[in-house]
Amino acid sequence: MGGEIPAENDFIKRLARKYHINYRMEWLGEGVRGYKIGDEIVLNSLNPPERRNWTFCHELGHIVLGHSQEPADVEEREADGFAAETMLPERDFVPDCAGFDLRRLKELYPHASYEAIARRCLQYNSGVLTVFDSGEMVFRGGSEGLVFPAIATAVEKRAAEQCLAERSDISVSADGLDIKGYFIDVGSEVIRVILISRPFAYFE
């Protein structure tokens, strides 16, 4: 059963006008982000605005960059790069992102999700990002060249548990790590973003 189609998104509307792209929102079911048909982009009305924004920019990248209807892996990465630059342009974002202050960055870039902002931060700052949805780790990555464990360390897990239990942002220094935890309530799930900074020797 389809749901109510959300109000038009000003961020998407501006980009569609700029690039002369048609788009529409449809109920596509759970787990589907969207797709392109020729030069038209179809977005899932079930998804939150920030996710629709990213999907639009990603699909727009395929169109602008002249990718095939069934993009190869390298084209998917290029479309991700296009989306990141469109939503969080390097010229503005680099001076803004020093310090990994996600709350401030979200105020500056409200059209982007916390996770998209955090991942972009890793391109310009050294650190490790871990994302938990309802207590389960769903993403872990670090800045280029940084060696770190594939799973969260004990101190990171405790920080994540504290963040969830207190339902608030936290800052922890333990075992040689500085950890910032952000409690993000997105309605249907909970995402905590944990950012770890120096010393990096801990991960080697």
pLDDT tens digits, residue range 68-114?
Answer: 878 889 999 999 999 999 999 999 999 999 878 999 999 999 999 99
pLDDT tens digits, residue range 126-151?
Answer: 888 999 988 889 999 998 888 888 99
The predicted pLDDT at position 198 comes to 53
Helix axes 73-87, 49-64, angle to 10 degrees: 120
The predicted pLDDT at position 201 comes to 47
Which domains are seen in the chain, by residue range?
A: 10-87 (1.10.10.2910), 90-203 (3.30.450)
pTM across the whole model? 0.88
CA 56 – CA 54 distance, rounded (Å): 5
Alpha-carbon dihedral 119, 196, 95, 109, rounded to 10 degrees: 50
